Homo-oligomer: A and B are copies of this chain.
Amino acid sequence: MLKVVLCRSYEFICAPIVHQRYRQEFWHGKAKGRAEPFTRPDLSLSSQDWGNLVVGRISSWVDMDSPLDNVRRDAEKVLEQEFAYSGHLGLPSILLSLRSVNSQNLARFVYSKILPASQKLIWVHVPLHAPELVAQKLMASSLDEEDDQELPADLDTWEWWSRFHRSCDSDKKLSLVLELNSADLPSHTQMMRWLGEPLAAVVLPTHIFMTNKHGCPVLSRPHQAFVNLLYRLDIQVMIKGCDRHNNLRYYQQYMEHLWNSQPPDDPLTRFARGFEDFLQVPLQPLMDNLESSTYEIFEKDPIKYSKYQEAIHRALEDRVPVERRGDTVVTVMVVGAGRGPLVRATLIASEICGVNVRVYAVEKNPNAIVTLYSEKRDYWGSKVTVVACDMREWDPPEKADILVSELLDPLETTNFPQSASMEPRSVVTEDGISIPASYTSYICPIQSPKLYGDISTMRDKDKHPMSNFEMPYVVRLHNHTQLCEPQALFTFHHPNREPVIDNNRYKSAQFTASFKCTIHGFAGYFDTQLYKDVQLSILPSTHSPGMFSWFPIFFPLREPVYVRQGEVVTANFWRLATHRKVWYEWNISSPLVVPIHNPTGRSYTIGL
């Protein structure tokens, strides 16, 4: 069988560890006490083939959660035997199927097998629709989102998976294998929820394929669309069932065709390749000095600096009427000049619109200063004054007409005007302009067991046990689902002309769950108005096309929060600062309470 499959160019096979024929019973029943060997011998394949080509499937008849004691005990014995034999064979992973919402005893067993430091992966096979619904053709139509009512837990296969997974503390060795077991697909929101789960593979039974005019198997358009979404998660495809199109190879060829006909990636996706769901500790540009390679990455962004240039251009034009452009010099201060991209943008804008500028390039990183001086000597000349100083300690010789500051982290916590303990009003003239003029952060509850599992396994003995959950991470969010649309969190305007300046913030935001799911934390985004309608955004709905300077940020929750469709999630966020540092605290206060994370900044602060 394996040979047949592999010469049809499949990459692996999923086969039962023990054939049903060898079924054994330990506690009762006629198979009790059979003296025969319990499965085929290991000599049928080489170790290398067992280890690379075969996923072992647990006997489907075992019922670990039977209400009958004897059945359950038999099941435990059989599973014990099959797990041991798959270990003996060196199979890379084991596939087992969930058959109902109640699989707590199976979960307990599996959890005990994956906890030891074995590398074996468990593939948890779940049908997209409960077989009961398929039999009765009761699936909600995928087109009728209005009718998208919450299924009872015992008919909702996402509940089957989710409860099983959570019982095992969302262990990373567990992956999901989803079977598209019907020609119907669930609603869009429900499909998106599956995309937030740690999918390893999708199972396509041959009966869901249609036949095209050449007699070859093809999927319906909705199935194609869903499979295309799944492909983005880099999953395996498994074909199941008897060959209904004369040659098993045709299925494989068709799936390869689908794979190859996906649209090419956009620049951001290309740039982010390899960084999907990779958790990064946010930069601390005010406390640390950035490295050359970091500058290089930021400078390569095709959008960010051209938008800055456009904003500066517009501001210069507004600042000086056409008739006075010959005899007026506009003072521009570039704060956080780095290796000079914003200085260049300023000079080019000045050139184009014919407004003269005097530029102060202020930078605290002595390593970047080297580059700034060399640029000044070679290209910029007297128009630019390099100031090797922390802006916050600088006493400027004059006030700025335009203050241009660099944007760095995804919540703009460390952006200069707001990180300064006092707003630098004194630096800008009374009618001076700040670029950016404002920015707004956004948050959205998301489901991502993958990120939750990753954070759970990071542990630092010397820190508070929750510290990994009490800091935000910069991450290219990939294997996740948004609960609903993001909401605005905090807005900052510059220059801030309020009588008392307080950059502390508190907001309680309410989100209504579009579907039943589990929240593992919050995605953080921002958008910014550089000048008038010149904007930058990393918010998914308004993302500046092609811009890759910022990934979203992720605020984890130390416990996943289960929410039902229509329930209101109240998230509380605080931005708090002292003269030396700034930090966030966050929690959830409905539908249930999760303790406040990072109180007093005990686990994470950003140095100023």
Interchain CB contact under 8 A, B167 and A587: yes
Find A102's partner among B104, B111, B115, B589 (CB 8 Å cutoff).
Answer: B589
Contacts of A500 in B (CB 8 A): 27
Q: Mark A110-122, 1 if CB is under 8 A from B, else 0.
A: 0110011000000
The stretch among A85-93, A241-249, A324-332, A590-598 that forms the contact with chain B is A590-598
Find A593's partner among B27, B167, B461 (CB 8 Å cutoff).
Answer: B167
A592 to B27, CA, bound (A): 33
A559 to B500, CA, bound (A): 42
Would you call A163 an interface residue if the criterion is a C-beta within 8 Å of the partner chain's C-beta atoms?
A: yes
Would you call A574 an interface residue if the criterion is a C-beta within 8 Å of the partner chain's C-beta atoms?
A: yes
- State whether A506 and B105 are in contact (beta carbons under 8 Å apart), knowing that A559-B559, A589-B167 are contacts in the complex: yes
Find A163's partner among B462, B593, B600 (CB 8 Å cutoff).
Answer: B593
Contacts of A574 in B (CB 8 A): 105, 108
- Closest chain B residue, CB of each to CB of A499: B27
Question: In angstroms, how far is the closest chain B Cβ from the Cβ of A31?
Answer: 15
Which residues of A in the span 71-89 have a Cβ within 8 Å of any Cβ on B?
Answer: 72-73
A559 to B108, CA, bound (A): 19
- State whether A111 and B167 are in contact (beta carbons under 8 Å apart), knowing that A72-B506, A73-B502 are contacts in the complex: no
Interchain CB contact under 8 A, A595 and B465: no
Q: Mark A565-608, 1 if CB is under 8 A from B, else 0.
A: 00000001010000000000101011011111001101000000
- Closest chain B residue, CB of each to CB of A502: B73
- Closest chain B residue, CB of each to CB of A73: B502
Interchain CB contact under 8 A, A116 and B600: yes
Would you call A295 an interface residue if the criterion is a C-beta within 8 Å of the partner chain's C-beta atoms?
A: no
Q: By DSSP majority rule, is chain A's interface helix, strand, loop, or mixed?
A: mixed
Question: In angstroms, how far is the closest chain B Cβ from the Cβ of A70?
Answer: 10
Contacts of A102 in B (CB 8 A): 508, 589
Contacts of A383 in B (CB 8 A): none
Would you call A168 an interface residue if the criterion is a C-beta within 8 Å of the partner chain's C-beta atoms?
A: yes
A587 to B111, CA, bound (A): 13
Which residues of A in the span 440-476 have a Cβ within 8 Å of any Cβ on B?
Answer: 459, 461-462, 465
Question: In angstroms, how far is the closest chain B Cβ from the Cβ of A477?
Answer: 24
Interchain CB contact under 8 A, B562 and A593: yes
Which residues of A in the span 384-418 have a Cβ within 8 Å of any Cβ on B?
Answer: none
Find A115's partner among B153, B587, B600 (CB 8 Å cutoff).
Answer: B600
Most B Cβ at <10 Å: residue of A153, A170, A462, A500:
A500
Question: In angstroms, how far is the closest chain B Cβ from the Cβ of A67?
Answer: 9
Would you call A94 an interface residue if the criterion is a C-beta within 8 Å of the partner chain's C-beta atoms?
A: no
A43 to B188, CA, bound (A): 70
Q: Mark A504-527, 1 if CB is under 8 A from B, else 0.
A: 001010000000000000000000
- Closest chain B residue, CB of each to CB of A586: B108
- State whether A104 and B589 are in contact (beta carbons under 8 Å apart), knowing that A111-B596, A596-B111, A599-B115 are contacts in the complex: yes
The 22 listed contacts between A and B (C-beta, < 8 Å) are A72-B506, A104-B508, A104-B572, A104-B589, A105-B506, A105-B572, A105-B574, A108-B572, A108-B596, A112-B599, A115-B600, A163-B589, A166-B594, A167-B593, A167-B595, A169-B595, A170-B595, A459-B465, A461-B461, A461-B462, A559-B559, A562-B593
Contacts A104-B572, A104-B589, A105-B574 known; 5 new A-B pairs at CB < 8 A: A115-B599, A116-B600, A166-B595, A168-B595, A461-B462
6 closest A-B pairs by beta carbon, nearest first, are A169-B595, A465-B465, A166-B593, A562-B592, A104-B572, A112-B600
